[in-house]
Amino acid sequence: MLFGIGYQDESRTLRTLFVVPENSPMEEWIETYSEQFEGQLEFVGITHDADEADSRLRNQDVDLVIVVPKDPSEGINNNEQAVITLYHYEIDPYEQAYVRILGRIYTDKINEQVLMFVAEQGKVEAESLQEQTEVALSSVTMMREALEEGDTAAAESSQQELHNSVAFLRLATASSLAFLGAIEQTSESPLDGESQLVLTHLNRLQEKIDALRELDADTADFSAEIALTQEIEIELDEAATLLTDFQRVDSHILVSPFRSEVVSITNVTLQPIHFFVPAVISLLLQHMAVTIAALSLVRERRSGAMELFRASPVSAFETLTGKYISHFFLAGLLATVLTLLIIYVLKVPMLGDWGEYILILAALLFTSLGIGFNFSLSARTDSQAVQSSMVLLLASIFFAGFFLALHRFWWPVHIVSWSLPATYSTSLLQNAMLRGQGVSLILLLALTGIGILLFLWHGFGLNARWPQDKQGRMLRL
């Protein structure tokens, strides 16, 4: 219970010192964006001296030292990634993994900021492209109106302006929207291929402009040219709309079009400590039942109480049954107290049926008592009985799914795992308490079956030793 109250589900905040070469462009960025990592990193400061940072890390004045490259663009221009190095002094493998994950998150954030900067630049250039598109649209409108009025000279002038504007648009768009096109191909951007659509419209525009024949002043009918200019107007209008959409989308959405949400289908929000509660219940009750049962017969043999049992008109199985019942009720009382503390003090949810919960604990206690009574057959002293119980407890901690899930073990080790009562009860209690699922009959019957076999084994063993105990007692007298 104290462990559950004292556990804090909070990520560790690392005191972080940055090592930045002098005159590095990264220094300003670090000072600006370090606040985004509040909660994971505590910004201690920036230094230009790597030896000073190493000394402070070894003296544990800081928890993490991040060294950034002097000129990231130099490595990028050489087709190499710029390396950001994280130095730590951790020996705990979990803390080491936390630092590695933090490093990936930090570099991903930097990469995102770089992409957002490039996207913003592309949007600024797209704004100038839109202005040029409006110029081209104005030129084609003037050309159409001149053709409708039969003014060939004005139409030719507007045609030349249109040709120059569209040629400039094609050249500028190809470079300005290249970044956007790469994003769309790799991440299915929400723009849905609009960069390619803009280029497609401009290519069609060029084809239609080229289709406009040289205007002849003696021609009386310009209906074909007028229709073509109307189509060009439509193409330019659509291209302008696409460029407007490009500017409308936020740069953060461009570089990070997806995000994840994790939703559990359970009815309550489970804390990490809740996951370990079923295993703790199983380990505590198993160890308690095994210990009290293992000590029971050892003390009775040493005190001579077994002679009284043999003198009474009861068999070995009847004596064993009485012990099972008395110890079962004692263990059940302790299990009730433990359950009340877990549910009402630690506030661990109970999503399943209480009847099934009681049935699982009953099977666990019955089987654990069987193990304890069998330990008492071979143990000659209290210390031997306690040591046997401790060995079983250690095996259960490592192999019953307390620290590691069973699927992480090599399959032959599963034989050891499934020979422990705590393995069955942990799985059953997790499903009952945390998932609200019904009891697995296979696991429950297997656990109970082990308990029955242990009861029979101990009963026959006690019955076989019954006359031996009597003979040994008579010799000592």
Cα–Cα distance between 382 and 403 in angstroms, integer?
30
Cα–Cα distance between 41 and 19 in angstroms, integer?
15
Question: 């490592």: which residue's tokens?
Answer: 398
- Burial profile 246-264: b = 16 or more Cβ within 10 angstroms, e = fewer: beebebeebbeeeeeeeee
* Model confidence at 151: pLDDT above 50: yes
Whole-angstrom Cα Rg for the chain: 40
**64-73, 86-95, 207-216: which range is least confident on average?**
207-216
User: pLDDT tens digits, residue range 348-397?
Assistant: 888 889 999 999 999 999 999 999 988 887 777 888 888 888 999 988 88
**Greater confidence, 301 or 103?**
103
**Greater confidence, 76 or 473?**
76
**Greater confidence, 326 or 80?**
326
User: pLDDT tens digits, residue range 427-469?
Assistant: 999 889 888 888 889 999 999 999 999 988 887 876 766 654 4
Q: Which CATH class is domain 118-255?
A: mainly alpha
* Model confidence at 24: pLDDT above 70: yes
One-letter amino acid for residue 389 of the chain: S
Phi, psi of 69 (to 5 degrees): -70, 155
Phi, psi of 46 (to 5 degrees): -125, 135
Cα–Cα distance between 445 and 462 in angstroms, integer?
25
Pairing relation of β-strands 41-47 and 14-19? parallel
Q: How confident is the model at residue 186 (pLDDT cuts 50, 70, 90)?
A: very low
DSSP string covering 37-62 = GTTTEEEEEEES-HHHHHHHHHTTS-
Residue 82: the pLDDT is: 77
Q: Which residues contact 217 (CB under 8 A, 6 or more apart)?
A: 152, 153
Domain spans in the chain, listed from the N-terminal domain onward: 14-89, 118-255, 273-476
- Burial profile 52-84: b = 16 or more Cβ within 10 angstroms, e = fewer: ebeebbeeeebbbbbbbbeebeeeeeeeeebeb
DSSP string covering 426-442 = HHHHIIIIII-PPP-HH
Average pLDDT for 195-205: 66
8 Å CB contact between 21 and 48: yes
> Measuring CA to CA, how many Å separate 257 from each of 108, 121, 306, 440?
14, 18, 77, 43
Cα–Cα distance between 247 and 194 in angstroms, integer?
11
Cα–Cα distance between 113 and 419 in angstroms, integer?
54
Residue 183: the pLDDT is: 47
Residues constituting the chain? 477
Mean pLDDT score across all residues of the chain:
76
Which two structure tokens, joined as six digits, stand for 72?
């990231």
Residue 282: the pLDDT is: 94
CATH 3.40.1710.10 fits domain 14-89: yes
- Of the candidates 218, 240, 217, the one whose C-alpha atom is nearest the C-alpha of residue 140 is 240
Q: Which residues contact 317 (CB under 8 A, 6 or more apart)?
A: 459, 463
Topology agreement, domain 14-89 and domain 118-255: no
Q: How confident is the model at residue 470 (pLDDT cuts 50, 70, 90)?
A: very low
Sheet holding 64-67, edge to edge: 41-47, 14-19, 64-67, 85-88
* Model confidence at 8: pLDDT above 50: yes
**3-7, 189-193, 273-277, 307-311: which range is least confident on average?**
189-193
**Greater confidence, 397 or 401?**
397
8 Å CB contact between 180 and 191: yes
User: pLDDT tens digits, residue range 297-320?
Assistant: 776 666 655 655 555 556 667 777
User: pLDDT tens digits, residue range 67-79?
Assistant: 888 777 666 667 6
* Model confidence at 172: pLDDT above 70: no
> Measuring CA to CA, how many Å separate 342 from each of 41, 280, 347?
34, 10, 6
